[in-house]
């Protein structure tokens, strides 16, 4: 595997980790009926292109 493939794989892993983290936080926000936090997290997902 060359450097550019490793960078692409690392970027994909990073994006997947960010998505999973935000989704976990969204579930907690939903369970706490925290619509303000949920809206912020949804906006973050859109800004990062994770939706």
Q: Where are the domains of the chain?
A: 3-48
Phi, psi of 49 (to 5 degrees): 70, 35
Structure confidence by residue, pLDDT tens digits, 1-40: 899 999 999 999 999 999 999 999 999 999 999 999 999 9
Of 4, 17, 25, 24, residue with least CA distance to 50: 17
On the 0-12 / 13-18 / 19+ scale of CB atoms within 10 A, 20 is exposed
45 has pLDDT over 80: yes
């Amino acid at each position: 595997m060359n450097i550019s493939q490793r960078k692409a794989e690392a970027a994909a892993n990073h994006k997947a980790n960010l998505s999973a983290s935000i989704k976990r936080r969204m579930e907690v926000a939903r369970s706490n009926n925290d619509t303000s936090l949920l809206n912020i997290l949804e906006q973050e997902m859109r800004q990062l292109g994770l939706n």
